[in-house]
Amino acid sequence: MYDYIIVGAGSAGCVLANRLTADPNCTVLLLEAGGSDQRPEVQTPAAFPNLLRTPLDWAYSTEEQPHLHNRKLYWPRGKMLGGSSSLNAMVYIRGDHLDYDEWRNLGNEGWGDKDVLPYFKKAQHQERGASKYHGSDGPLNVADPRSPNALAYAFIAAGQQLAIARNDDFNGTKQEGVGLVQLTQKRGQRHSSATAYLKPILGRPNLSVLTHAHATRILVEEKRAIGVTYQQNGQLHEARAGREIILCGGAINSPQLLLLSGIGPADQLKALELPVIVDLPGVGQNLQDHLGMAVAYHCSKPITLLQIDTFWNKLQYMFWKKGPLASNLAEAAAFVRTRPELQLPDVEILLVPLYLSNQPISPAPEHSFTFVCALLRPQSSGEITLCSNNPLDPPRIQPNYLACDADLQVMIDGVKLCRRWAQTRALAPFRGEEITPGEDVQSDEQIAEAIRARADTIFHPVGTCKMGNDAMAVVDHELRVHGITGLRVADASIMPTLIRGHTNAPAIMIGEKAADLVKKSVIH
């Protein structure tokens, strides 16, 4: 018997394991379906594409996308200690301040910008030092890029030539602008939630960590969560929790486990011959993600990350943890408005010193660079549903990209902006022929067709166990699952709306705030 069982050792799960076991009288079991993160490709920043479609990746695929030429999109998700924080591009961006005020205004007390900022700061060791918006005493190291590519600086200069302001801190006073991104790295290596929060406490006697332990069901008695069943080495096991079970599986796995446990839309559960423990129609709904479109050019100078694996680059990284192998591949970004009347940015543009085609990341045989234009606040949403009642079967993922025409128009405008960006004086010394969409693609209809043929996820699914008090909410403002006691969800799935930024830093913040909510409930 444990006090707490945490399902998922990802971005939020590692935080909770750390914070809860700080009390020596509290026992925690942390279950992780994947294994160790001890592979060189995890720790070496530029090597993360080599992890895709390996055993360290859930390697999901969506259903056919009706508005993207019925393509099935590959969705990588980390399946190891650290979860997707061990697989991602390490970008540390929180979103706009007003994103969190919107959560509060939707009825989620305690989740406004002023409420969540202390948790962002608590998590952070900002190498630049502490400030109004940053902490320097937290476990998670946040650093500037160590060896930015010359194209990153040219991209920033090009944005300024388009009257876009330089922004050296996307997590400061204002998000809008162009600049280098900050990274979850420490001394040139990835700094995942496992490295930051879990590894320093593995010796605590009140923490048990089980890897290759795939949770299959939440055990419920009289509307109270009392335990979890999990499969490990082909055997089914059961663990019990005296206080709470906390799901930290992310936007795919958390709703999947709820559904498998009989918590979700009754009609869906009955159709799969699953018991209806709680009829909760919002489980798996409200799926939102950032869709990105690549605008790529040949590079006229051999300065890209194409030939990254040279002897000199390996030497630089081995001895100084610098050079191209320390790159996260997306070193500069811009948050911009495609229309001046907008209050906040509606697209993010990332500069990648490589040619990006459809996943997995595969460079062209020539030096190239890519703008990735991401739709920040899609109006389209989708769902996660079960394909069977077998816990080992992947769920159905239907993000329903571009179901709303307004989303497509923003992406068309974003592609046009990327092209104007490429035509600036700052990028002229590097700009070669346009590769994608291609110079023959000019009209809005042609650009729309190219988007439908090529747009892809930039890996930020959220929202499938949304927080709130409406009929489709899954958890309340203290992350407690409606209709069940002793059960919470704490990961990106609780986001009621998709933030204008990357999702790793917010997921870690959610873990920090969840830990305080859990501890507060014990006191009361």
Tokens of 384: 């996660």
Nearest of 375, 419, 382, 414 to residue 397 by alpha carbon: 382
CB contact at 8 A, 426 and 154 = yes
Secondary structure, 3-state, 390-420: CCCCCCEEECCCCCCHHHHHHHHHHHHHHHH
Burial label, 292 (beta-carbon count in 10 A; 0-12, 13-18, 19+): buried
Tokens of 220: 């419920």
Tokens of 265: 């839309």
Nearest of 213, 222, 253, 209 to residue 384 by alpha carbon: 253
Kindly name the residue from 97, 134, 367, 460 that is annotated as catalytic.
460
Tokens of 89: 């591009």
Please count the CA atoms within 13 angstroms of the CA of 23 that sit on its side-chain side: 16
Q: Is 298 a catalytic residue?
A: no
CB contact at 8 A, 160 and 179 = no
CB contact at 8 A, 91 and 98 = no
Tokens of 377: 């606040």
Nearest of 366, 402, 400 to residue 383 by alpha carbon: 400
Burial label, 129 (beta-carbon count in 10 A; 0-12, 13-18, 19+): exposed
E strand or H helix at 350: strand 347-352
Burial label, 241 (beta-carbon count in 10 A; 0-12, 13-18, 19+): buried
Give the whole-angstrom CA distance, residue 38 versus residue 154.
36
Tokens of 481: 């699952």
E strand or H helix at 368: strand 368-375
Q: Which residues contact 83 (CB under 8 A, 6 or more apart)?
A: 8, 9, 10, 11, 13, 14, 34, 77, 193, 194, 250
Please count the CA atoms within 13 angstroms of the CA of 114 that sit on its side-chain side: 2
b/e sequence 462-498, b meaning 16+ C-beta within 10 Å? bbbbbbbeeeebbbbbbbbbbebebbbbbbbbbbbbb
Q: How far is CA 387 from CA 39, 250, 390, in A?
A: 32, 18, 8
Q: At 72, is the secondary structure helix, strand, or coil? A: coil
Residues with a catalytic annotation lie at 460
